[in-house]
Amino acid sequence: MFLMKSSEKQSILIVDDSRTNIMALAELLKDEWAIKIANNGATALRIAESKSPPDLILLDVMMPEMDGYEVCKRLKESPITKDIPVIFVTAMDSLENEEFGLSLGAIDYITKPISPPIVKARVRNHLELKKYRDILKESSRIDGLTGISNRRRFDEALSAEWRRALRYGSSLSLIMIDIDHFKNYNDSYGHLGGDECLRQVAQSLHSIPKRPLDLVARYGGEEFACLLPETEFTWALKIAEDLRSNVLALQLPHKSSPLSEQVTVSLGLTTLIPQKGQEAQFIIEEADRALYTAKEAGRNQVSW
Ligand code: GH3
Ligand code: MG
Ligand code: MG
Ligand code: MG
């Protein structure tokens, strides 16, 4: 459900200050792959960090302002872009240059003038490897019990969205969700019964947020987290209420709950605009505090 659809074309970002070079490469590759272009380093970095990053970057070296080596260095330094493979395509054909380019983390170094079939073959090989890396990466970010995203995916997404929100001054919302009286549930229905309950609650939570960057993850035990980038408080509150009522709608019996006859969740919501000097951890602490308030106030409710 989370894996890339095989029908989706992989995309290549071509970075070159020469329009002629861009057109030549684009012409060569456009039938097989989706093409993005940038005629300077800053634009390339922006596209690489965007919500739909390329699967491969073909990078010129000699460009005014920021050269290709610097672009590659920055791509490899950022956790958001470091896994995008970079191939230098350049007229700088000395062994020293090639060695330097590869030492920056590029996976390949192609010198101009290019041989079109060889460029195509190398691009194809690297994109094939990228596809399998993506599949592996994806499966290591799925929670084994519930099939939704796991803590690792959540931590990565939070760190990426925190940076983005900090840079653009946008609102980030986080909802922490905890099943009420789950210890009792395990006591009544056994650990396997508890596991089945976790699966159903996870799936019902997962089906609520609709935008591609919204994320519901199993945070740990019987706690879940819902991360909503670029989301204002009012909308996040509506999502939180929807999460709560979707779990109620499951009508899972919970005979030993001191609260009601069925499984319920408590939710803590925080919306904030990240400020310089704050750590991403801050939004978790705030949402946890709100969750504690919801528990204290009687559970089966949203607090903020
Ligand atoms: P509260 O309403 O205050 O949240 O009460 P609670 O009983 O849910 O809270 P507590 O954190 O004390 O209990 C969480 C329980 O969740 C304890 C643990 O046994 C259970 N749990 C955690 N992970 C799993 C799991 O993977 N499977 C099962 N079956 N139970 C789990
Ligand atoms: Mg150039
Ligand atoms: Mg708990
Ligand atoms: Mg609990």
Q: Is the pLDDT of residue 285 over 90?
A: yes
Alpha-carbon distance 268 to 264, whole Å?
14
Cβ of 182 below 6 Å from ligand 1: yes
Asked if residues 247 and 264 have their Cβ atoms less than 8 Å apart, the reply is yes
CA–centroid distance, 91 to ligand 4, in Å, is 61
Q: Is the pLDDT of residue 2 over 60?
A: no
Q: CA 297 → CA 73, 102, 175, distances in Å? A: 51, 58, 17
Closest atom of ligand 1 to 145 CA is: 26
Nearest Cα neighbor of 74 from 84, 159, 298 is 84
Residue nearest to atom 27 of ligand 1 (CA): 195
Closest atom of ligand 1 to 299 CA is: 2
pLDDT digits (tens, 9 = 90+) for 168-185: 999 999 999 999 999 999
User: Taking the model in full, what pTM does it have?
Assistant: 0.79
How many secondary structure helices (H) and strands (E) does the chain include? 9, 10
Q: Is 36 left (phi over 0), alpha (psi -120 to 50) or beta?
A: beta
Cβ of 183 below 6 Å from ligand 1: yes
Cβ of 198 below 6 Å from ligand 1: yes
Asked if residues 300 and 249 have their Cβ atoms less than 8 Å apart, the reply is no
pLDDT digits (tens, 9 = 90+) for 83-136: 999 999 999 999 999 999 999 999 999 999 999 999 999 999 999 999 999 999
pLDDT digits (tens, 9 = 90+) for 4-38: 455 689 999 999 999 999 999 999 999 999 999 99
